Structure 1
């Protein structure tokens, strides 16, 4: 039996999948395996630095908040292959596979959820396509074809709640369709089509993803242009990045991976000798799921028809000028031609070897270079640089080499509004070319908290420089500055390791110091402003003089007068501490003499008949100097006073 969860759970389930669109996370389902006991799902993270002890681990689980079945006969279990891969196994029957599975990876604000929806191969209804990604305001059409006909109505549900009913006779060419006009992001979710009074296990399950902007737009207010994602890539409506299909990479998904490769840098290899055949790839929203490049069909085991290529074989080659179609990468161009369709002659100018993404600090004025070749050769004035706001910059310097022309552009002081896609353009009588690249403008880090004092001595301060900060990391340098309180002298500065405590040495005793931190990030202009300062005061100087006991006089069974002396040098201290130790009872008595000129003291309330060990120390502030050589004193139970003398 299957039942449907409450839609109140949806914000947790679906909105989480929109966080961190650029996370390199792939959920794989091997549809070649039909035996539930051998079936498994694998989640792979290609994130740099993934698996650090501070990062949460990859999670892979069945998410039963929308589609629930009876618990499996045995608990599902995870097998981890290092920190970058996790596999879910332990299925026992076909119903265990039906429903929604999720993989969660990444850290902090980049924590991302990838979803996969599995349909039963023996269902009454089966989706023509499981994942549908549409733009805000589009019309979405969900189509379920009849696999096992029943002469009852078909119920459509959205996230487990009733949505619509179709009469069984409304099937068109063996298909039931649900048309959703002017869709909005809240329309996203899990949809299902089920014959009335049939087991929901026989349903067709769909996933609808609605981008937060119209076609070709992204950002707050949807006012920014998408970069023009190629080969089926989808523009993320939050950051404008292209989420590339499996088998393609690059800022615009312009570059094909080698056959059998996937991941944002083509770093992952499809398992086994069959390569990517039979695998479904699920990527972060708004992409969703598809077959690998070169494959199509409900089980991703059908090769593309001639002239088609890419994920799900959705793309047509349309090769020109003698190009041939490769079902994995698209058009393979003959010598003398290039471009997606081999439509560009090598005589046409071409932008060369540009970085796809660069980073600068706010307020800097960087120099950006664009190189191009062609016939005729590009010259000064034929190359321009376009900023995201449409401003065109002209080159300030041009270097002509035998195989290229390089134009240098001096960029005015950068602001946060300059973040986005820039474009290098070249135009000659032979034609035009352009290349987009992403510029990230970063804000240098500024400490939000002052450094902490951990310990102090008369001439040292032990400081923790680790502070929270605003702005952007990573932190490349930490400077600790300090100087005496109310001083106008220059600050002293040292470069420190933020992970280790720092000892400031050779300071003045009993002096307040202002201590503050400055952080830097990589690149020119990466130095941030000063953080708040903390006032830290060194301790008093340690007393170095060692007193000695001159004599003691037992004036009664519980009274003892003690006399001591000091060397004849200038005195630096606040008083004396006399200590009597009763070794038999394990008890200690301390007597504080707060007058530094004192040389004698009367101790009362002692225990008659006790052997004491006696010493005296000079103290200054809270610091004790060296103890005098000890004396051993015996208080008689009663009787006459006695006199003791050292030496």
Structure 2
């Protein structure tokens, strides 16, 4: 269904882009149609951009059965673009007599041009090699007698006898007459004496147009344009077929001396020009000499006042125009027209501008070529065509008249569309064709699915595996597409710059689908995703051990240690250690895996090589593999004394100090660097031992001014010290007095110290104020809490000697906020009192950095 839909879409896109028909510009040159004792040939010429396989030459057995049966030796004509030729040498003259065709194929349409060759010594010769008439017209097919014989004359049509003339009645002009010619009357007519044969016959071909004069179309109802200079209207297309030497919509524009073709770009290569050349064009034109020549052999020049093919046109030039046998009237400045009868400057043939030589497209994209042309008159939209190499013709979809710019549209271009495309413009002033090359590239698609290199519970490392791909490069972008296999989540993509890609933050124990998408340059260069592959992340594993260390133990062993792993009794832990040699020159760098129980936290890695660097990583496995730790690197101890430090330099020398730097060889287990120096000429020396082997320079201080020293450096490892290197001479500078420190400098120091002190005092004062405010706030809240407790006190009043008691009215207290205390905030100190209902305890309350004493009653 997809393929069918694609075909329908392509067909529809071609229709809307203006496809009209297949077209092929084809021409047959019959060199020396009257064969004598000279070389003769047939040349079949097609468009320069047509394929050579689309053109061929053959014998026309439909027109003449009784001719040579030997196949023709057809070769390429190297002098022309797309052309085939057949050449007969002088001694092969007898093999040339007969009928031939030049055939061109465009898609399913075939264009065939017919011609004949006849002997120069034939008894009869036709008036013309071909005759073109309209349906219903009166026609006389004439043969001129060249040799008189006492024999009957016979006439054949397509090899079949149709008429005979008794020997005593044979006229000088032998004719076949049709008063109203019909389509079935068309064909090849031949005349000879009855005693002759094919090789003594004369041939002419009658071409009958399907329509009446000046009519064309399926029903012959359309009016033909006025085809000038003996051009003929095609009954199917309504276009003028211009004779050789003229071009333009109405064949008005002359090409010039010995040039021909639809755009006047072809020429006769011989010194004699187009002499002896009979030009044959598709029906209904037939054959004629080139402009300026006449005769059955095209070897006669036009008489004065005549021009054109077969010299049938008369000049009749006005306004002092001059007649040229190739072009017709050559008008004076300010005049134009076929007979110089119109005022104004001459028309200018169209010229195509700004067309690129090469266009590269990606398959499936839109193609929107633009053709711009100039000329006089300015071309209009109907004058433009776009031709594909297979002959398909497109019409413009839009047009800018002020620029004479035609735009075409091909909806989905495909690789078979690659080849030569042609922008064609034809006006009354002439015709121009400009080819350009179109290359349709196929976007790349990987041939193989991606592969997994490494995986964990939350990551997968994927090998792109896209070196082999179909389609065209170069590759400008590589994307890795992925998504969970289950569910309906959309594809996610990530750009890949190398051969692999690590994807992080994936879900544990989840299956993912992967594929690779490649892209090339240009619009639509993104190819289809390649084959898919599925990979699953590991189950969630344990993290690597903590506090990993790797240190050398001996020349052949390292100690790997880590923090003990906490585990439950039911856990079955296995610590897996992977060890690899980093700089082993033996080529044996395979990973060595060692497993130890989970309750062990130290591993001695033995059977190693001295002075070799190794790397290790560790993981803790349970039912699933854990995560690998980062690599740890360490060297085994050396088995030889280390080489002396090299690249020693002394710099920044002052009167009492200098800096010395050096470099040491790696992998020599160097534990310390020893710098030994002494004054020149003395025996006592000073040794400085540097334990930090990563240090590569050291400042020597306390030296005497203006004094020479000798310095040596050596390295020490587990075997011993290196051989001392050559002594270096160091000479300190003369003593220099300390520069006077100005009063301004002291004042600046005092100002800085004072500013720093004031800043510290300000911070301390702010801290004390905040602390006091916080304490006061806490005491206020505590006091408010105790004051809000309601107490009923008796009021004593004396009234007439009688003692009475009354109670105060209760006030309606506001909403009380009580502090919230924790048991840790209360510290009980002593018992104040005890009664029947409980105890009163002394306690100290501490909260928010504040404290207070309180009495707390505890009930029994």
TM range (shorter): 0.5 to 0.7
Given that 1:514 and 1:535 are in contact with CA atoms closer than 8 Å, whether structure 2 keeps it comes out as yes
Deviation track 1:511-544 (CA, whole Å, cap 9, x = no partner) reads 5899999x99xxxxxx9xxxxx989641234999
The answer for the alignment partner of 1:311 in structure 2 is: 309
Aligned-pair CA distance for 1:368: 9.6
C-alpha distance in structure 1 between counterparts of 2:23 and 2:192, whole Å: 33
C-alpha distance in structure 2 between counterparts of 1:515 and 1:179, whole Å: 71
The answer for the alignment partner of 1:231 in structure 2 is: 229
The answer for the alignment partner of 2:513 in structure 1 is: 510
Distance 1:367 1:196, change over 3 A: closer
The answer for the alignment partner of 1:540 in structure 2 is: 534
The answer for the alignment partner of 1:148 in structure 2 is: 147
Within the alignment, does 1:82 sit opposite 2:84 as a pair?
A: no
Match of 2:278 among 263, 277, 280: 280
Match of 1:60 among 46, 57, 73: 57
Given that 1:25 and 1:105 are in contact with CA atoms closer than 8 Å, whether structure 2 keeps it comes out as no
The answer for the alignment partner of 1:401 in structure 2 is: none
The answer for the alignment partner of 2:43 in structure 1 is: 43
Distance 1:27 1:368, change over 3 A: closer
Deviation track 1:355-384 (CA, whole Å, cap 9, x = no partner) reads 69999xx999999999879xxxxxxxxx99
Counterparts of residues 562-581 of structure 1 (less than 5 Å): none
Which blocks of at least 5 consecutive residues in structure 2 are unaligned?
Answer: 1-20, 356-365, 384-398, 411-423, 434-439, 452-463, 473-477, 504-511, 539-573, 579-860
The answer for the alignment partner of 1:30 in structure 2 is: 32
Distance 1:513 1:89, change over 3 A: same
The answer for the alignment partner of 1:340 in structure 2 is: 338
Distance 1:145 1:48, change over 3 A: same
C-alpha distance in structure 1 between counterparts of 2:49 and 2:123, whole Å: 45
C-alpha distance in structure 2 between counterparts of 1:507 and 1:224, whole Å: 73
Given that 2:480 and 2:515 are in contact with CA atoms closer than 8 Å, whether structure 1 keeps it comes out as no
Aligned-pair CA distance for 1:163: 3.4
Deviation track 1:86-111 (CA, whole Å, cap 9, x = no partner) reads 34224636542321123335664575
Aligned-pair CA distance for 1:144: 1.2
C-alpha distance in structure 1 between counterparts of 2:447 and 2:529, whole Å: 13
Distance 1:89 1:454, change over 3 A: farther
Partner SS for 1:318 = coil
C-alpha distance in structure 1 between counterparts of 2:319 and 2:147, whole Å: 48
The answer for the alignment partner of 1:174 in structure 2 is: 173
The answer for the alignment partner of 1:268 in structure 2 is: 266
Deviation track 1:397-449 (CA, whole Å, cap 9, x = no partner) reads 9xxxxxxxx8679999999xxxxx9999xxxxxxxxx879999xxxxxx99x9
Given that 2:263 and 2:430 are in contact with CA atoms closer than 8 Å, whether structure 1 keeps it comes out as no
Aligned-pair CA distance for 1:333: 0.8
Aligned-pair CA distance for 1:113: 3.3
Distance 1:110 1:151, change over 3 A: same
The answer for the alignment partner of 2:252 in structure 1 is: 254
Given that 1:483 and 1:515 are in contact with CA atoms closer than 8 Å, whether structure 2 keeps it comes out as no
The answer for the alignment partner of 2:394 in structure 1 is: none
Q: TM-score of the superposition, structure 2-length normalised?
A: 0.42
Distance 1:62 1:333, change over 3 A: same
Partner SS for 1:228 = coil
| Larger CA deviation: 335-344 vs 208-217 | 208-217
Aligned-pair CA distance for 1:199: 2.5
Aligned-pair CA distance for 1:269: 3.1
Partner SS for 1:43 = strand
Aligned-pair CA distance for 1:292: 1.7
Given that 1:67 and 1:99 are in contact with CA atoms closer than 8 Å, whether structure 2 keeps it comes out as yes
The answer for the alignment partner of 1:582 in structure 2 is: none
Given that 1:97 and 1:118 are in contact with CA atoms closer than 8 Å, whether structure 2 keeps it comes out as yes
Given that 1:139 and 1:183 are in contact with CA atoms closer than 8 Å, whether structure 2 keeps it comes out as no
Partner SS for 1:41 = strand
Deviation track 1:8-36 (CA, whole Å, cap 9, x = no partner) reads xxxxxxxxxxx97642433231358721x
Distance 1:92 1:384, change over 3 A: closer
Which blocks of at least 5 consecutive residues in structure 1 are unaligned?
Answer: 1-18, 374-382, 389-395, 398-405, 416-420, 425-433, 440-445, 467-479, 493-503, 521-526, 528-532, 545-564, 570-647
Partner SS for 1:510 = strand
The answer for the alignment partner of 1:100 in structure 2 is: 99
C-alpha distance in structure 2 between counterparts of 1:264 and 1:43, whole Å: 17
Q: TM-score of the superposition, structure 1-length normalised?
A: 0.54
Aligned-pair CA distance for 1:321: 1.7
Q: How large is the RMSD of aligned CA atoms in angstroms? A: 5.8
C-alpha distance in structure 1 between counterparts of 2:432 and 2:223, whole Å: 12
Given that 2:55 and 2:104 are in contact with CA atoms closer than 8 Å, whether structure 1 keeps it comes out as yes
Partner SS for 1:25 = strand
Partner SS for 1:113 = strand
Aligned-pair CA distance for 1:120: 1.9
Aligned-pair CA distance for 1:150: 4.3
Aligned-pair CA distance for 1:262: 2.5
Partner SS for 1:275 = coil
Considering fraction of residues, name the structure with more helix: 2
Aligned-pair CA distance for 1:128: 0.9
C-alpha distance in structure 2 between counterparts of 1:140 and 1:252, whole Å: 26
C-alpha distance in structure 1 between counterparts of 2:72 and 2:371, whole Å: 55
Partner SS for 2:338 = coil
Given that 1:25 and 1:46 are in contact with CA atoms closer than 8 Å, whether structure 2 keeps it comes out as yes
Higher relative contact order, structure no. (Cα contacts within 8 Å, ≥ 6 residues apart)? 1
Within the alignment, does 1:120 sit opposite 2:116 as a pair?
A: no
C-alpha distance in structure 2 between counterparts of 1:423 and 1:274, whole Å: 30
Partner SS for 2:513 = coil
Partner SS for 1:129 = coil
Given that 2:446 and 2:518 are in contact with CA atoms closer than 8 Å, whether structure 1 keeps it comes out as no
The answer for the alignment partner of 1:597 in structure 2 is: none
Given that 1:216 and 1:235 are in contact with CA atoms closer than 8 Å, whether structure 2 keeps it comes out as yes
Distance 1:450 1:156, change over 3 A: farther
Within the alignment, does 1:324 sit opposite 2:317 as a pair?
A: no
Partner SS for 1:56 = helix
Distance 1:116 1:250, change over 3 A: same
Counterparts of residues 359-370 of structure 1 (less than 5 Å): none
Aligned-pair CA distance for 1:114: 2.9
The answer for the alignment partner of 2:130 in structure 1 is: 131
Distance 1:240 1:222, change over 3 A: same
Deviation track 1:71-93 (CA, whole Å, cap 9, x = no partner) reads 59x98645544284434224636
Aligned-pair CA distance for 1:332: 0.8
Aligned-pair CA distance for 1:290: 1.3
Aligned-pair CA distance for 1:323: 1.3
Distance 1:41 1:511, change over 3 A: same
C-alpha distance in structure 2 between counterparts of 1:423 and 1:88, whole Å: 34
Deviation track 1:427-477 (CA, whole Å, cap 9, x = no partner) reads xxxxxxx879999xxxxxx99x999985443557777569xxxxxxxxxxx
Aligned-pair CA distance for 1:301: 1.7
Given that 1:333 and 1:342 are in contact with CA atoms closer than 8 Å, whether structure 2 keeps it comes out as yes
C-alpha distance in structure 2 between counterparts of 1:253 and 1:157, whole Å: 35
